[in-house]
Each structure stands twice: as structure tokens, then as C-alpha cells.
Amino acid sequence: MGKRGLVSLVGAGPGDPGLITVAGLDRLRRADVVIFDRLIDQRLLDETKFGAELIDAGKSRGKQNMSQKQINALILERARSGKYVCRLKGGDPFVFGRGGEEALALSEAQIRWEVIPGVTSVVAAPAYAGIPITQRGMATSFTVVTGSQDTSRSKSKIDWHTLARVSGTLIFVMTWKELGTITSELIENGAEAQRPAAVIQWGTTNRQKVVTGTLENIAALSKSENLGPPAVLVVGQVASLRGVLAWFDQRPLFGKRVLVTRMRGQATQLSRLLEGQGAIAIETPVIRVNPLEETANIDRAVKNLSTYDWVTFSSINGVSMVKVRIEALGLDGRIFHGTKVAAIGPTTAQALLDIGVRADLVPEAYISEAVAARMIQDNVEGLKVLLFRSDIGRDALARSLRERGAIVNELVAYRTETNMDASNQILQAFSDEHGVDITTFTSASCVDSMLEIIEGDVTLINKTLVACIGPITASQARNRGLKVSIVANEHTIQGLVNAVVEHVSGNGS
């Protein structure tokens, strides 16, 4: 990249991390240094490479970690040291983002730079609110104004007289503090008081709130609904379309705060599926997986897989740990040749497929008893079965197979322990002013670990809807004093989400 490095001015989009561009995500992942704005979603920062330097340069009214002058100096200093710098900015760098000032500073210093445009809240927030900013027969143009200035008549540089007579859509960004002044100035300068208007707070995120009204009452309505910054004001006939076109905040779990207790690394799938239904996923991993300190037994088994008739996996953790040992021993998927493989469910089967092994058996019900029932449909007497499991795994499968005459070798592939570090996250989630609406459990061990962390006090959890991935998890939850409201019929992550959606939508039992 050269001695002077390179700086990418990257638009992160308006809030939804999925709205960053492909090019923007590429630059973020490759950067040595990421200097980011306020309101950047943590999930984007999680995309940075290992060892990248992350610097919070967020600014808001009355509070700033750095002045713009300091930010410019920081960018120049890191670039001059030969680093690849990603300046990650909310929305688009050149739309009220002061990216132009940073670009000028870089050009003056003769440092290589580029701009990666981003999706701006100017169009995204109304779109997620169900408001097209242009519409045939309603608006053939739109005008964008920043409310982040003194909008009073004596000091404002805004031509209120002209704006009030614009026939197209008016969009005011960074507008909350001056909302009352903006609406008053427009009306006093000739805009119709009954002109449709909408205020969108936290647009494109699962915290989005939208209030509609008229130019005359939108400020009062927004205040009564407890809206606040960040907010976008849309003025024009198109605002009346929200009643027909609202979609994003009409999803079944919209705004529901869901506690995801699954272990880190596996929580992502559940969180994304919940968020896809509009929920706010709060990840509090109550369990962590630790590799074995002594691997001689598992290594011996891996080297001799071909001597077994069946190899069974009770979770994706077992697959992950066996994969590590296969690679450490310099082996590959060919060691499964001639051996049948059973997986407790489709997620575990997919993990096997990722290492080149297709499961011969995946039961319709994703529990150990179902695996055993399928295996003993054939005569298992005298068959050698290798079972990879956790140190706290249930013995239902091994017991059933032994009762039918199978020779079962149970091997602990990994150890689990309660993640006591999650205590603060759990406390914070329940103490937040919005609290928790739904608590999810994906295994009986998650239930036990959660109860250990909260010292057995189920009071707060029982104020939420408790959702369990299947009957075994639900049984353990009830035994520990939890009031279970939702049990998935299909014992998968997708099945759990489906069950939650059905219950909240009024279609569940």
C-alpha cells in the first residue's frame, strides 16, 4: 500500500448492518485501523480482522470523543505510519457526514484515499417506514435539509420561504432538537398546516419508531410518543402512504427483546433468524466450550474410525472438536470410509457436510432417543458404535444401544462449563428500561447454567415468555422452576423461531 498507507472513507449505512455495501465490508475487513462514528452497529465492528485497531471517534450534540480537527489529525497520523485506515462513517460519507472535510485534509497531505459510498438515511429511513420519497402523482422530487443547525429565523441559512412552497417531498435529517422550529417555520412561510408528515426514529433498526400526522401536529405527536434522536422528518403527500406500505415494523416479533442464551459462536444463527422477524436479539452466552487438555483417547479413536460400524455425533460441538483433531493429525474425511455416520439433527449434519462427510442417519425428531430408535430398526447386536459427546451429555443413546447388544464406546470430545462472565450481561438486559420479553433455551445445559448464574432466582425470567427448543429442554426448565410458554415442535433453531413467531402471533398453543 505504500509508505503513506491508504484511507478508505466508508459509508456504513443508516443503521441496519446489512445495508453496508459489498465494497464497504471488504474495506472494513482488510483495514489495520478502523476509526468509527457514533451509532455504528457492533456487528459491523465484529467484522474487523484480528488485531485491527478500533478507535471510537463518535460525536453527538454536547458530547464528543474527538473534535473533527482531532479526527483528521488521527487519520493522517495512522496513514502516514503506513497503515490501511478504514474511516467508517454512518450513512454516506458525503451526505452531512463531513467526509468532504476529511477528504480535503487527505488530499492536502497527499495521502492516497478513496470513498466507498453508503446507503443514506435520507432514503433508507423512509423506505423502512413504508414511505417512498418519490411517487408518481404525489412527488417527482425530494429536497434534503439538515436540521443540525440553528434553524431560528434570525440565524438560519435555510430559505424557509422557498422550502415552504416546494411541491415535492421535504426530508430533514438530524432534526429532533429543531423539530418544532422546522414545522413552525414551514407553516409561517406558507406551507399547508395539514400537509402529511412523519417522524422516523432509529430508522432501519429493530428499534425503529414512526409517528405520522400533519405538519401542524407532528412535533407534538412525536413528543407524546416519546420519540427522540436520531430522527428523520418527512414532509409531503408520500407520508400518507405509510398506512398502506408499512412493512419493516409490521414483522411478528418487531421490537421484542429476546434473550439468546446459546453459547458464543452458535448464537449467531438464532440471533439472525430472530432479527429477521423483527426481534432485538440480546446474546448472553451462559455456556462455553473448552477443548480437552488430554486428547490421546480421542486421537486414537479418530485414527481407527474405520473399525467402527457407526460413528454418532450429538452436537455440532462434537463435530468441531473432532475436526480439530483430524487436522492436527494430518488426516481428512477419508477416515470415515466404510463407517456409517449418525447426526442428531440437521445442524449437526451440516457441520459434518462442511468437513466432507454426509450423515447416513438424521432422525425426524432431533433427540438422542430418536437416533437410537432409527439405529435399532436394524439389528445392532454386536455392532461397534462410537459416540462423541460432551462431558455432561445424556446417556440415553448409549444406554438404548447397549440394551440391544451394541458395543458402545462413549468418548468425551469437549467439556462445557457455565460462563459466569455472562452475569453482567444478563443483569444489564433485565435492568434495561425495556427489559426482556422472551428468554430462549436451546438445551437443558443452558437452563442449568442460566440458573447457576442467577443463583436459582427465576423471578425475572418468569416475567418473560420462556421458549425451549424441545421437550427435554422444556422438562428441565420446568423442573428448575421456570414457567415454559413455548416448546418447538421441530427441535431445531429454525423450529424454535417458528414456535416463538406462532405464539406471539396468536397461532401457537
pLDDT in tens, 273-303: 999 999 999 999 998 888 888 899 999 999 9
For the 290-418 domain, the top CATH level (class) is alpha beta
Is residue 390 over pLDDT 50? yes
Q: What integer pLDDT is reported at residue 1 of this predicted model?
A: 39
* Per-residue cell: 315: 452436537
> Beta strand 407-418 with 384-390: parallel, antiparallel or unpaired?
parallel
From 37, 41, 249, 437, the catalytic residue: 37
* Per-residue cell: 500: 416463538
pLDDT band (50, 70, 90) for residue 191:
very high
Cβ neighbours, 10 Å, residue 89: 27
* Nearest to 169, CA basis, from 185, 186, 152, 150: 186
* Per-residue cell: 485: 410458554
* Per-residue cell: 506: 396468536
> Beta strand 169-173 with 407-418: parallel, antiparallel or unpaired?
unpaired
Q: What integer pLDDT is reported at residue 150 of this predicted model?
A: 59
More confident residue, 280 or 315: 280
End-to-end CA distance of the chain: give it in Å, rounded. Answer: 60
Q: What integer pLDDT is reported at residue 119 of this predicted model?
A: 97
Rounded distance between C-alpha atoms, residue 65 and residue 56, angstroms: 7
Give me the residue label for grid cell 489495520.
32
Q: What integer pLDDT is reported at residue 115 of this predicted model?
A: 97
From 26, 59, 384, 463, the catalytic residue: 59
Of 74-88, 288-302, 350-364, which has the strongest mean pLDDT? 74-88
Q: Which residues contact 136 (CB under 8 A, 6 or more apart)?
A: none
Residue 58's Cα: distance from chain center in Å? 21
* Per-residue cell: 40: 455504528
Listed in order, the ranges of the chain carrying CATH 3.30.950.10 are 123-249
* Helix orientation angle between 316-328 and 346-353, rounded to the nearest 10 degrees: 20
* Per-residue cell: 21: 455495501
Listed in order, the ranges of the chain carrying CATH 3.40.50.10090 are 257-286+419-504, 290-418
For the chain, the average pLDDT equals 90
For this structure, is 354 an active site residue? no
CATH of 257-286+419-504, one of 3.40.50.300, 3.40.50.10090, 3.30.1780.10, 3.90.78.10: 3.40.50.10090
Q: What are phi and psi of 211, to 5 degrees?
A: -125, 130
User: How many residues appear in the chain?
Assistant: 509
Fold topology of 123-249: 3.30.950
pLDDT in tens, 139-167: 999 999 987 665 555 667 889 999 999 99
pLDDT band (50, 70, 90) for residue 2:
very low
For this structure, is 223 an active site residue? no
pLDDT band (50, 70, 90) for residue 265:
low
Classify 253 as helix, strand or coil. coil
44, 17 in Cβ contact below 8 A? yes
Q: What integer pLDDT is reported at residue 386 of this predicted model?
A: 93
Listed in order, the ranges of the chain carrying CATH 3.40.1010.10 are 6-119
pLDDT in tens, 89-138: 999 999 998 999 999 999 999 999 999 999 999 999 999 999 999 999 99
From 16, 83, 92, 174, the catalytic residue: 174
* Nearest to 115, CA basis, from 77, 96, 89: 89
Residue type, 337: H
- Segment 246-273 shows an average pLDDT of 89
Q: What integer pLDDT is reported at residue 367 of this predicted model?
A: 67
pTM of the predicted model, to two decimals?
A: 0.77
For this structure, is 249 an active site residue? no
* Nearest to 494, CA basis, from 399, 384, 366: 366
* Nearest to 222, CA basis, from 177, 257, 188: 177
Rounded distance between C-alpha atoms, residue 377 and residue 364, angstroms: 14
Which run of H or of E encompasses 398?
A: helix 396-403
398, 290 in Cβ contact below 8 A? no
Q: Would you say domain 6-119 falls under CATH 3.40.1010.10?
A: yes
218, 198 in Cβ contact below 8 A? yes
Percentage of the chain surpassing pLDDT 70? 94
Rounded distance between C-alpha atoms, residue 378 and residue 397, angstroms: 15
Is residue 429 over pLDDT 70? yes
Is residue 509 over pLDDT 60? no
